[in-house]
Amino acid sequence: MNARKRILHVLAIAFLLLGLGALLFFVVLPIMFSKPFSGTLEYDFGIVEVSGDTTTVEYTFQLTNETGGAIKLVNAVPTCGCTTTEWPKHIVQAGALLEVPVHLTLKRSEIRRSKIRLEFDNGETLVLRVEGAGRLAQPLSCKPHNIKIVDGDPIGARGLLKLEKFDDVTPLLPTFTSPENVTINVEKWRRAKAGDVGQGKPSEWTLAFECLLEGELEEGASLTIQYEDGQPLTIQLEQSNSREKPRFF
C-alpha cells in the first residue's frame, strides 16, 4: 500500500513538473523574449548608383505593435553617420502599425552597413539593420579638372586618370579626343590600390598622360576621354603663359 502511494506521489510530482515546464516554454519564455514589434527588421538596398557627390536611398520599416498595450518610440539611434531617420513620436496602440523611415547616404564605391536602435517608453528596445553597396556612376575621374597648357611647351601639361575596376585585369587604354593642335601622350595603367571584396571596394588604377599644344587654343576647348562603353569624361583645356605643375605628381 505504501509502495502504491509512493508511485502516485512520484507521478503527481512528475505531472506537476511537466505542467510547469509547458507553462515556462509556451507562456513565460515567449513573453520574456518576444519582440515588442513584428515585421521586417533588415533591409538590403543592393547596388546603389552614386551620381554626383552623394546618393541617398530610403526604406520605410513597417512594424506591428505586439506588446498588447500602447507604446511610444522615444529615441532612434543610428550607429553610422551615413544613416538618418525621422522617427515618429506618436503613441502606437496595440496591434497598430509603426512606420520608421530610414535614409542611407552613399558617397563612394563601398558597402555601408548601419544599425538603428529603437528605444521605447516601456524600456523595450529593437534594432533595425540596413546596408547598401555604393557604385560610382562614373568610375573614371581626372585630376586636374581643368588642364592649363602652354604653346610649344615640350614637356606638356600633365593629367592623371583614376579608374575604379572590380577585377584585377589591367584596363584597356581609353580613347582621347582632343582639338587638332593638341597632342596626347599616354603612359601605362598602374594599380594604385587593391580592392576589398568584403567591403565592396574596387581596385583603383591610375594612368598619367600629357597634353602638348602647338599654336592657339580655341576658347572653350576640351578633351574627351572615353573608357570602353562608359560615360565619356570631359576635361576643360585652357591656354596659359606658364606651366603649372600639378600637385598630385
User: What domains appear along the chain, each with residue ranges and CATH number?
Assistant: 37-136 (2.60.40.10), 140-239 (2.60.40)
Neighbours of 142 (CB within 10 A): 18
Q: Which residues pair with 119 in a beta bridge?
A: 75, 125
Is there a contact between 101 and 86 (Cβ–Cβ < 8 Å)?
yes
Is there a contact between 236 and 143 (Cβ–Cβ < 8 Å)?
no
Mean pLDDT score, 74-92? 94
Specify the residue for cell string 507562456.
Answer: 27
Mean pLDDT score, 4-12? 63
For residue range 128-169, list pLDDT tens digits in order. 999 999 999 999 999 998 999 999 999 899 999 999 999 889
Mean pLDDT score, 33-57? 89
For residue range 168-220, list pLDDT tens digits in order. 899 999 999 999 999 999 999 999 999 998 899 999 999 999 999 999 999 99
pLDDT, position 31 = 42
Max Cα separation, the chain?
Answer: 123
- pLDDT band of residue 52 (cuts 50, 70, 90) is confident
pLDDT, position 19 = 60
* Residue 57 burial (10 A CB sphere; 0-12, 13-18, 19+): middle
By DSSP bridging, strand 140-143 and strand 182-186 are unpaired
pLDDT of 29 > 50? The answer is: no
pLDDT of 69 > 80? The answer is: yes
How many angstroms separate the Cα of 215 from the Cα of each of 41, 152, 186, 221? 64, 7, 21, 13
CA-nearest of 235, 230, 173 to 49 is 230
pLDDT, position 241 = 86
- DSSP assignment letter at 194: -
